[in-house]
Structure 1
Amino acid sequence: MREATPERRRRLEEVLSRRQPDLTVLLENVHKPHNLSAILRTCDAVGVLEAHAVNPTGGVPTFNETSGGSHKWVYLRVHESVKEAFRYLKEQGFRVYATALREDARDFREVDYTKPVCVLLGAEKWGVSEEALALADGAIKIPMLGMVQSLNVSVAAAVILFEAQRQRLKAGLYDRPRLDPELYQKVLADWLRK
């Protein structure tokens, strides 16, 4: 393994110093590889450190070129069930907002994304399960003014995550490292090996 150049190390440190450990996504049954890859690419772009997935059919799909290699920079934690994923996220202090086409769902821009937040996105065809909706802290939606009811799951993830980024930039949450020093060094060592 070659040693990282000083420029590469600086770039990795710069990116890692903006990672947001309290912003994440939970993907329930998102089984199309290009959608999963595109969501991870957006996670990288807005500074998500770790994403989460549940796929009861066994594992998660393989990555493709859509991710642009972002799967190397965003950790993906796979959970065995929706309940287990929620238990883990709640223990970490996250509020979970499920995307859903429901009358009582709030406009996604009304959520305070400067707090520890997880955005739950469901399967491409069916959306979030009733079980997951019942466990969520609330439902959010992207207002649609055209004929279609919803966006593609990866596009919806991007729209919501960039709103979270906008709020966090305004609040100064990207201005200083947010990872504790031990985790920062662990992740940096891992990234330097890639």
Structure 2
Amino acid sequence: MTFDEIVGDARIMAILRGLPPAETLSLATRLWDAGVTVLEIPLARPHGLDALRHVAAAAAERGLIVGAGTVVTPDAARAAADAGARYTVAPGLDLTVLAASLHAGLPHLPGVGTASEVGLAVAAGCRWLKAFPAGALGPGWISALHGPFPDVRFVATGGLSVSDVPAFLDAGTAVVALGSALADPDQRAQLADVL
């Protein structure tokens, strides 16, 4: 499976961070019902691995998949695969984590914040990259990096709200990831406007 297949025509990725497994599954279900099908469960928080297991099992019943986020070690990549993740996401570019994810059969989305990191990721075979922290980088960063790297598909992540989505999409971002914004019921209600 590739990120092209994982993402399809989705424009929003949901990051379900730090909730107990039952609450994570409840939020995932509401998001799936609303049309958000690309989900990431970060492993770095308490309950992360258990939440991933619960949501991955429920996703499989719907014919959907879930990824593991904050995968920063090769061991975490292997644990994510064992828990049912179908892809991994990291805040930075670590070639050992990339290799471990690929070895486990999981596409990997490494985080980048500089042109040098984008270049290294592309040289390592990555076409989809996580622009992180996107809130600090801004939409102009995406536009600027598309000049030298026109084939890269960016997932803007970090510090974004639903109201930021249009500017990032207009700048050429393939997908905008929302995490903390999803804890706000008002922003969740606005998701329909950007889906």
Same fold (TM over 0.5): no
Higher helix residue share: 2
Larger Rg: 1
Q: TM-score, normalised by structure 2?
A: 0.41
Which gives a bigger RCO, structure 1 or 2 (Cα 8 Å, sep 6+)?
1
Q: TM-score, normalised by structure 1?
A: 0.41
